[in-house]
Structure formats: structure tokens, C-alpha cells
């Protein structure tokens, strides 16, 4: 299966378990890998037979910056649902939601959740 990678998409949203996360918001980064058969799109050089990266970004933005969730797991699940619903050629979606600045005391780069959903 062919893969499209769209990584490092940045959003500002209000997801989190703690009230201050819902009130103040924070940064989120989303990485997506979409698996689809891209042979026909490549052979015909036809965007209509591929997946529009801009549409993927906008769909992701609507989910991440839309409804507030307590868990990044829920955000990832909704993004995966959107990818499989909006893009018929996607057979499998890997969604990674990164929370760079969660309210955890300690030294770390970030926390993240990654899910894989298929048709």
C-alpha cells in the first residue's frame, strides 16, 4: 500500500483533563500517514485520483480546533474517523497527536498518542 505523510501540522486547542487546559488552551501537533493505492493517480498525473493534502489539513484542523475533548486519544480517534469518511481511497490511517506542553512536572520532549484505524 502506498503512503502519504503529512507531519507537523500545528494547532491551538482546548483539550485536556484539567480545567486550566480547557480554559487556556495549548499547542497540539498532528502527524498523519494515509495508506491508499496511488498507482492510478501517479500514472494519470491526476489529483482527483489521489488525496488532496490541503483537504487533509483542513479536515484535521476542523476536528482538532473544533469540539473540546478531555483526552488526546479522543482527538486522534475523531481525526481517524474523518480521514476514513472524507477520503474514500484511504484504506488505513495512522494518526499521531502530540501534546508538547502537558501539565506534567518533569523534563521531557512531549507526550503523544498514536492510533491506527482501517476500513
User: What radius of gyration do the chain's Cα atoms show?
Assistant: 15
Annotated catalytic residue, options 49, 61, 67, 99: 99
Known active-site residue 99: yes
- For the stretch 107-115, contacts whose Cβ atoms lie closer than 8 Å and that sit 24 or more positions apart, written own/partner, are 110/29, 111/72, 112/72, 113/72, 113/73, 113/76, 114/76, 115/73, 115/76, 115/77, 115/80
Which residues are identified as catalytic? Answer: 99
Amino acid at each position: 500500500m502506498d503512503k502519504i505523510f503529512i507531519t507537523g501540522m500545528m494547532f491551538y486547542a482546548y483539550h485536556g483533563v484539567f480545567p486550566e487546559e480547557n480554559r487556556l488552551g495549548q499547542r497540539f501537533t498532528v502527524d498523519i500517514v494515509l495508506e491508499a493505492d496511488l498507482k492510478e493517480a501517479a500514472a494519470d498525473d491526476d489529483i482527483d485520483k489521489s488525496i488532496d493534502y490541503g483537504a487533509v489539513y483542513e479536515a484535521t484542523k476542523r476536528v482538532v480546533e473544533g469540539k473540546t475533548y478531555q483526552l488526546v486519544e479522543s482527538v486522534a480517534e475523531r481525526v481517524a474517523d474523518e480521514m476514513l469518511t472524507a477520503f474514500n481511497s484511504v484504506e488505513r490511517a495512522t494518526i499521531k497527536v502530540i501534546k508538547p506542553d502537558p501539565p506534567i512536572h518533569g523534563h521531557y520532549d512531549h507526550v503523544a498518542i498514536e492510533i491506527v484505524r482501517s476500513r
